[in-house]
A = this chain, B = another copy of it.
Amino acid sequence: MNSSIDFTHDPAARSWVESANAPDTDFPLQNLPLGRFRRRGDHHPAAWRIGIAIGDQVLDFRKVAEAKIDLGVPLGALERGVLNAFLATGPERRQQLRHAVFNALGEDSPLQGALQRCLVPQSAIELSLPCRIGDYTDFYTGIHHATAVGKLFRPDQPLLPNYKHVPIGYHGRASSIVVSGTEVTRPRGQLKGPQDELPRFAPCERLDHELELGAFIATGNELGAPLSMEQAEAALAGLVLLNDWSARDMQAWEYQPLGPFLAKNFATTISPWLVTMEALAPFRAPFERPAGDPQPLPYLDGEFNRGAGSIDIALEVFLSSAAMREQGLPALRISQSNFRDAYWTLAQMVAHHASNGCNLQPGDLLGTGTQSGPGPGQGGSMLELSQGGKVALTLPDGSERRFLQDGDELTLRARCERPGARRIGFGACAGIVLPAA
């Protein structure tokens, strides 16, 4: 199993990259997330390369290859700047790379001198999506979100009868997935309030975020060949943060009977660093259903899933207005929750997706759905925090928010921490809202 605990999870291990030993870094030696980057300003098509974040630096695999430094594992596809082919090699190769890089960046590594020249400061780079995303599917595993939103759309029946049996999901748009830092233009669309006789075409008036995680597929399956729960777990590469920007007014009018469409596909932002399943292993947690809830059907059940199917990931949402940034005010944390509260696990999402024979491919992305907690400050969207637009949040600049305004910057953050393990983080998933074109 690719998620077993090993020496790379030793909380006392330190790196010769000093910034990786700072207690508050997202990228200590125990994390080692993968990303695709180039030097800022280098617009040559071949400038993109794959690297691993360590403290405030990136280990550049192209430089490692060019310098002919032997890490003890073949770099193969990692040299070419496209992550998909490396992910497709599966969890063992990923684990080997993790072991090799952990040793090479560890504080007593004989490779320190050689590798020093293969580091690039993160301040000098720009990141792209970590890999080419073939298909993107968004799930709906946040039961507190499903209940809260359901109440607004269907007061008589907030949680539909299928919710506790089916890991509900739907297809999203791959082409409009952008990396953290990309500005997001407010969409135009058909709006029709309950009082309006006819729809009008206008800029969205209820722009929202959704706090999600995104899971990348490493190995996938052939068309017609479902995955067992064990295979589903092994098919996962790792996680990023995901903001499923949503136009609530467009959504309310368009979504029946085939689901959300233009309300969602104008942009989806993900964080650039793929935090691997190996890095997340110490934070696995039992998957538990509330007493009295139905147990998953056999194709969605498994021993590993019951014992360690969940992952303890603390999630946060920050908001800053343009005025706050001008006044030097820090972003306001507007929500916090935990991925442990998800009603379905990642492996259940994958196994369900492939259960009808649908083929998943290396680099496919699965969103988890909005991860809201049960409490009042735990809504993963403005829709929930403002109770459908009825209650305003007051920002430090004195302005009020029911939904996102132009100039607002929305930032998702995530971290894993528990006693006996080194804290790891995901970096930021951020985007500023631009006015409608």
Residues of A within 8 A of B (CB): 134-135, 137, 140, 150, 153-154, 160, 162, 165-166, 168-176, 178, 185, 187-190, 192, 198-201, 223-226, 247, 250, 253-262, 265-267, 294, 297-299, 352-353, 355-361, 364, 437
Contact = CB atoms under 8 A, between A and B. Distances in A.
**Among A172, A225, A253, A265, residue most surrounded by chain B Cβ atoms (within 10 Å):** A265
B359 A188 contact: no
Contact of A176 (B168, B226, B256, B359): B359
B254 A162 contact: yes
22 contacts: A135-B173, A137-B261, A150-B257, A162-B199, A166-B253, A166-B254, A171-B261, A171-B265, A175-B223, A175-B358, A187-B356, A188-B226, A200-B297, A201-B298, A224-B266, A250-B356, A258-B259, A259-B260, A262-B356, A265-B356, A266-B356, A357-B437
A179 B94 CA distance: 34
Given A171-B171, A223-B176, A258-B168, A356 B298 contact: no
Nearest to A294: B198
The interface residues of chain A, by DSSP majority, are classed as: loop
A337 to B, nearest CB: 21
Given A176-B223, A201-B299, A262-B355, 17 more contacts: A135-B173, A135-B175, A162-B199, A173-B358, A174-B174, A178-B223, A188-B226, A188-B355, A190-B297, A198-B294, A224-B266, A255-B259, A259-B259, A259-B260, A262-B352, A266-B358, A357-B437
Contact of A199 (B154, B165, B226, B265): B165
B170 A170 contact: yes
**Among A154, A267, A358, residue most surrounded by chain B Cβ atoms (within 10 Å):** A358
Nearest to A358: B265
Contacts of A190: 162, 165-166, 297
A193 to B, nearest CB: 13
A171 B168 contact: no
